[in-house]
Amino acid sequence: MRAPTWDYIIVGGGSAGCVLANRLSVDPGIKVLLLEAGGADRHPLYHLPAGFAKMTKGIGSWGWSTVPQRQLNGRVLRFTQAKVIGGGSTINAQIYTRGAAADYDEWEGDCGAEGWSYRQVLPYFKRAENNQRYANAYHGYGGPLGVSNPISPLPICEAFFQAGQQLGIPFNPDFNGERQEGLGYYQLTQFDARRSSTSVAYLRPIRSRRNLEIHLHAQVLRIVMENGRATGVEVAAEGSGTPRMLRAEREVILTAGAIGSPKLLLQSGIGPAEHLRAVGVPVVHDLPGVGENLQDHLDLFAIAECTGDHTYDKYNRAHHAAWAGVQYLLFKRGPVASSLFETGGFWYADPSARSPDIQLHLGLGSGIEAGVAKMKNAGVTLNSAYLRPRSRGTVRLASADPRAAPLIDPNYWAEPRDRELAIGGLRMAREILRQPALQRFVLGERLPGAALRSDAELFDYACANAKTDHHPVGTCRIGPAHDPASVVTPDLGVIGLAGLRIADASVMPMVPSSNTNAPTIMVAEKAADHIVGKLG
């Protein structure tokens, strides 16, 4: 019996996959199948902005961890990656940032990602956007993705901006506009006080399209290759049944994420031959760059105790939580409408850097994310991340079993410079919290704690507390076909194979100096134009 057939099969219904499902199925004559290993996004926590706090604690994720990190005293870090329709955009903190223009100019100039300069990617950022505040040279209005300003900011946010100004860091109303540096409110992927994931923004409005099928709980085990061409995929059956074979007439498109896409290539025999042989996967195509070049932002944080209930910590108590629920239901305001990380900004650890190299996220509470302790009294968190790490890690298979968790090695701080600048960022965060403007709100730093001052002490603190900022990229990087480090050419086709493309965070040759959801959506928007032939 012939396997069921579509024109395009998209593997992974995350930030990028949902965009492509929408853009490719706009032509009713084209049959598209979207396969997602996770389930539906029915749970209300996926849609309430504050639901993010629960997300890093397990809901809708694969439950992966890193391998022991050599430069972090061998620590194993939790490494949350989404497993639900909408992917990262369904569970993330909703911060909408794009990075610096120079990031994309470097993709093109230094990495050989021809056609991916800032000038060339800006139209795709704008095409995605339904910005609720801006309509100008940098922002679009009327696209699918809701982007808006925080609804109910707290007074401590304004004091944070003033503290920055006391240190010479200006206020910036738009990090995605003319300049990136400064402190201010983030714009968020929210619309009408609800999360705007790509599932909500790109899939919901097109539910009635008959040429688009979406299969949930459909984990792809292998890409099927015939004579150098991807012709379909094998999907896991429930229990130990035989996998189902599904065929693609035109292309298989991987959007399984920066960990999922290289993992799937490797388990299909596409990747570094030596590694494939070592784990017992038959080599189909030797492509050394697959799973290399892993980059991520490592987050360090300071937590201060507040002089009163100035953040959202008090909503852990039942009567406050009940009031927050009522406030949201009646007025669409209050803590439930907050992503808890709505303010922050960009500044310099290295004053000679070409654009800001530190990102700050002010967390309106303590213990917001998994693995970070909650304080007894109200607290405020200030995260700092060094944005342009030189360390490079890997994604590898632990075994030939496609259901096994991958070996994720971000190799944090393999380059000592990354550590120095990251610790510089942590010092900056502590300094901001000490400024006079924040004294009305901040009683004193509790973590790392005033006693820890030297680089060695802060290093030990960082080793025990650092966490991922959830921005892995680069494991199937764009580059010239002749460069052995490249996995896809600038049109996102897999080098040396036909009928196979990759269009997610894994293709970014360098991590943007920001959060990575908007850049991933941009990649998928542009990929759609490559696939339908509007771009070369």
Ligand X SMILES: Cc1cc2nc3c(=O)[nH]c(=O)nc-3n(C[C@H](O)[C@H](O)[C@H](O)COP(=O)(O)OP(=O)(O)OC[C@H]3O[C@@H](n4cnc5c(N)ncnc54)[C@H](O)[C@@H]3O)c2cc1C
Give me the DSSP letters along 186-215: PEESEETTEE--HIIIIIGGGTT-TTEEEE
Q: What three-state secondary structure class fits 11?
A: strand
- Are the CB atoms for 151 and 310 separated by under 8 Å? no
**Known catalytic residue: 530?**
no
Angle 7-11-13 (CA atoms, 0-180°, nearest 5)? 110
Residue nearest to ligand X (CB): 14
Least distance from ligand X to the Cβ atom of residue 472, Å: 7
Q: Of 320, 471, 482, 530, which is the active-site residue?
A: 471
CA distances from 36 to 12, 57, 58, 269, 520 (A): 5, 21, 18, 21, 17
Considering beta carbons, is residue 98 or 430 the nearer one to ligand X?
A: 98
**E strand map for 244-342:** 244-254, 270-271, 285-286, 298-306
Helix axis angle, 118-128 to 517-531, nearest 10°: 100
Token digits of residue 438: 């924040």
Least distance from ligand X to the Cβ atom of residue 372, Å: 13
Instruction: Please state, in angstroms and rounded to a whole number, the distance separating the CA atoms of residues 474 and 520.
Output: 11
Least distance from ligand X to the Cβ atom of residue 292, Å: 17
- The contact set with ligand X (CB under 6 A) reads 11-17, 35-38, 55-56, 80-84, 87-89, 91-95, 219-220, 255-258, 260, 264, 470-471, 504-505, 515-518, 520
Least distance from ligand X to the Cβ atom of residue 310, Å: 22
* Burial degree of 170 (CB within 10 A; 0-12, 13-18, 19+): middle
Considering beta carbons, is residue 36 or 357 the nearer one to ligand X?
A: 36
Where helices occur in 56-116 by DSSP H, the ranges are: 88-91, 101-109
Is the C-alpha dihedral spanning 248, 252, 257, 260 positive or negative?
Answer: positive
Considering beta carbons, is residue 339 or 391 the nearer one to ligand X?
A: 339
Considering beta carbons, is residue 19 or 156 the nearer one to ligand X?
A: 19
Least distance from ligand X to the Cβ atom of residue 188, Å: 8
Considering beta carbons, is residue 12 or 356 the nearer one to ligand X?
A: 12
Is the C-alpha dihedral spanning 485, 487, 491, 497 positive or negative?
Answer: positive
- Plot region of 288 (φ>0 → left; ψ -120 to 50 → alpha; else → beta): alpha
Least distance from ligand X to the Cβ atom of residue 2, Å: 23
Angle 110-116-120 (CA atoms, 0-180°, nearest 5)? 130
Considering beta carbons, is residue 422 or 524 the nearer one to ligand X?
A: 524
Considering beta carbons, is residue 465 or 517 the nearer one to ligand X?
A: 517
Q: What three-state secondary structure class fits 428?
A: helix
Least distance from ligand X to the Cβ atom of residue 483, Å: 22
Instruction: Please state, in angstroms and rounded to a whole number, the distance separating the CA atoms of residues 183 and 476.
Output: 33
Other beta carbons less than 10 A from residue 518's beta carbon: 25
Which sequence positions are flagged as catalytic? 471
